[in-house]
Structure 1
């Protein structure tokens, strides 16, 4: 499966952890770990919440699939 999100990268850039994100969203650390490893994907509503918590545009959490 292709990497569909950049969540792990954004967390590292902001010096935040999956545990911190889990606490902010009220989900388990296992859930955020699965999102960061691309084992599963958050739904669009949750992705929007993640973007707000991280103060980024939702598009910034998605992989850029431009063909170069």
Structure 2
């Protein structure tokens, strides 16, 4: 995958004052997986994205980077 940023999971975790380990437990995945999401090395599935959003109490779209220029 390229160096493009597709998600804001790391930013939203910081905004919510939560750690990668907390998210890993909340969505029942390995902490290494969360780390890869946060660095955009891999992307969560759509289903998992919704689980992450629920755990962080945000809309799923808030976890994605917008590409459309206003």
Q: What's the TM-score once normalised by structure 1's chain length? A: 0.95
Alpha-carbon shift at residue 58 of structure 1 (Å)? 0.4
Q: Work out which of the residue numbers 49, 52, 55 in structure 2 matches 1:53.
A: 55
The answer as to 2:37 corresponding to 1:35 is: yes
- Deviation track 1:38-64 (CA, whole Å, cap 9, x = no partner) reads 000000000000000000000000001
Shift of 1:66: 2.5
1:7 Cα deviation (Å)? 0.3
Q: How does 1:1-68 map to 2 (within 5 A)?
A: 1=2, 2-68=4-70
The count of corresponding residues between Structure 1 and Structure 2 is 68
Shift of 1:65: 1.3
Q: Supply the distance in 2 between the matched residues of 1:38 and 1:65 (Cα, whole angstroms).
A: 15
Name the SS for the 1:10 alignment partner. helix
